[in-house]
Structure 1
Amino acid sequence: MGETRRAIEFHQQALAISREIGDRRGEGQDLGNLGLAHADLGETRRAIEFYEQALVIAREIGDRRGEGNRLGNLGNAHAALGETRRAIDFYEQALAIAREIGDRLGEGNRLGNLGNSYAALGETQRAIDFYEQALAIAREIGDRLGEGNRLGNLGNSYAALGETQRAIDFHQQALAISREIGDRLGEGNRLGNLGNAHAELGDIPTAITLTEQALAIFVAVESPYAEQARQQLARLRGGTAEG
């Protein structure tokens, strides 16, 4: 519901109880949830502190799935801080665990995370390799959300390579999935990406229409991406006026 501060209060109460009764697994989960909540608030360093505590517990009790999740969380946090190489190290550790325990969903997520990391480093072809592996897993296990995300990632990658028409094809596939599963934020992202692609092709009217649709969704779901969409619309409309 976006009430993250209130969520933190409940997680803190749960953590106190887990510690009182000596439930180490529950304590680790509560710490991980607190990390996620602080990450949502942009308090990344604080999130890392909670993830690190949760990771210690997961290793202590032999919770391999929990260990993999915490390593993945740490990768996300360091990626958010721009520490991409460090993030890759955590993702690789998490990927190894996912494969060891047969966690196909986790494996797909880690491959996608690695793709994002290499995309951030400008190693686009390497990113595509990871996205394609992640896409294959998503389709194999019926993870429609993951499938949509990977298709969107591939669209962004081909856009970065200047293959705009191919990028549009991937974004359209991703958009169809977002609408099918009711992923409103994903739908907004796909529309925004399609708008950018059409702008790249010089089709400004279509770009404006798509970006307007994306903005409407971002406003409805109270996404911080709304401001980016507004800025993009202003640029597009300014270009039209100049033309």
Structure 2
Amino acid sequence: FFLGQYQRAIEFHQQHGDIAREIGDRGGEAKSLGSLGNAYQSLGQYQRAIEFHQQSLDIKREIGDRGGEAKSLGNLGNAYQSLGQYQRAIEFHQQHGDIAREIGDRGGEAKSLGSLGNAYQSLGQYQRAIEFHQQSLDIKREIGDRGGEAKSLGSLGIAYARLKQYGKAINLQEKSLAIKCELGDRHGEAQSLQSLAQLYQACGRVKEGFAAGQAATLIFQELNLPLEAWTLPRWIKSFVKFAQQGKWQLVICFVAGFFAFPFLLTLLLTLTLWRFTFGRFRR
């Protein structure tokens, strides 16, 4: 799953579920269904993901697994958020948080607050999003969740960027990057560098933006992850998939990027296209 090989992950999760059903392990069956939901969500098949998460939730409620129930509610919230149904997503995240507080799961509570922040950010309510991300950050610092702290700092950075408070956004993203480097989270490091590349560009710091964007691309190349696992906007992934169809498609994508987007985004797009297409043409 973390290598972006979602179809292979699905095969293993299905085998997990088959054995769990065979031996009557309802908890294991629920877990496999939740994992299938996450895999299908990563493939962009959100309705199918919702079906699996709902089945997982039903079993967890049946066997009285309150912690698992909270997790499934959070997963459903994420799936509905991906569909753009933000109010429904908020309802699920609130239920997740309520159960987490009830059972004393501080990590789950922090996660639900962060998810609420993401949902309100998608609704354009950036100040409210900041409040939730800050609460999530406070809990993560309290429980010593360094990886979660880095994630919350990055989310706060994105929210402040939407408010065009670029100085504050850059400061938060740099703090997030420092923690990810400390933890050896190379994938997360690349994500932070991508965010910083866009922020530097927005501030007119073109050279720093170029360096951050190039560093992010090099890390993704180093990790050798498939395109689906790259944390790139969907429009770039669509460009890449189109460019992979042939040389003329590659030329069209480059020209479109050159005329439609600022210099830095054109560069990042070109580097991405190079990574996924040039090798096959050279061969």
TM-score relative to the length of structure 2: 0.79
Alignment of 1:131-142 (within 5 A): 131-142=133-144
| Alpha-carbon distance in structure 1 between the residues aligned to 2:29 and 2:79 | 20
Code of the residue aligned with 2:76 in structure 1: it is: L
| Pick aligned residue for 2:40 from 29, 33, 38 | 38
CA contact (8 A) 1:191 1:210 kept: yes
1:117 to 99, 116, 119: 119
| 1:226-241 matches, cutoff 5 A | 228=236, 235-237=262-264
Taking a change above 3 Å as real, the CA distance of residues 237 and 181 of structure 1, as seen in their structure-2 partners, is closer
Partner of 2:170: 168
The one-letter amino acid of 1:190's match is: S
| Cα distance in 2, alignment partners of residues 25 and 237 from structure 1 | 48
Which one of 177, 181, 184 corresponds to residue 182 of structure 1? 184
CA shift for structure 1 position 179: 0.6
* 1:226 Cα deviation from its structure 2 partner: 5.0
Matches within 5 A, 1:24-63: 24-63=26-65
Q: Secondary structure at the match of 1:56?
A: helix
Q: Pick from 202, 205, 228: which aligns with 2:204?
A: 202
> Does the Cα contact within 8 Å between 1:208 and 1:236 map onto a contact in 2?
no
1:125-154 C-alpha deviation (Å, 9 max, x unpaired):
000000110000111111111100100111
Q: Name the structure 1 match of 2:130.
A: 128
Are residues 194 and 63 of structure 1, via their aligned partners in 2, closer, same or farther at CA, if it must alter by over 3 Å?
A: same
Matched, 1:20 2:22: yes
Give the share of equivalent positions with the same residue, in percent: 47
In structure 2, the CA distance between the partners of 1:57 and 1:238, relative to structure 1 (3 Å rule), is closer
Correspondences of 1:56-71 after superposition (within 5 Å): 56-71=58-73
Unaligned runs of 5+ in 2: 241-256, 268-283
Is the Cα–Cα contact under 8 Å of residues 209 and 264 in structure 2 kept in the other structure?
Answer: no
Q: Displacement of 1:239 after TM fit?
A: 9.1
- Residue type matched to 1:4 in 2? Y
8 Å Cα contact 1:55/1:71 also seen in 2: yes
Q: Which runs of 5+ in 1 are unaligned?
A: none
Q: Distance in 1 between matches of 2:266 and 2:220?
A: 23
Of 122-131 and 30-39, the range deviating more from structure 2: 30-39
Instruction: Number of aligned residue pairs: give it.
Output: 239
Does residue 224 (structure 1) correspond to residue 230 (structure 2)? The answer is yes
The whole-number CA distance in structure 2 between the counterparts of 1:22 and 1:132 is: 42
Aligned alpha-carbon RMSD (Å): 2.1
1: CA distance between counterparts of 2:58 and 2:203?
A: 50
Choose the corresponding residue for 1:145, options 144, 147, 160. Answer: 147
Larger deviation: 174-183 or 209-218? Answer: 209-218
CA, structure 1 residues 238+178, in 2 after alignment: closer, same or farther (shift >3 Å)?
Answer: closer
TM-score (norm 1): 0.92
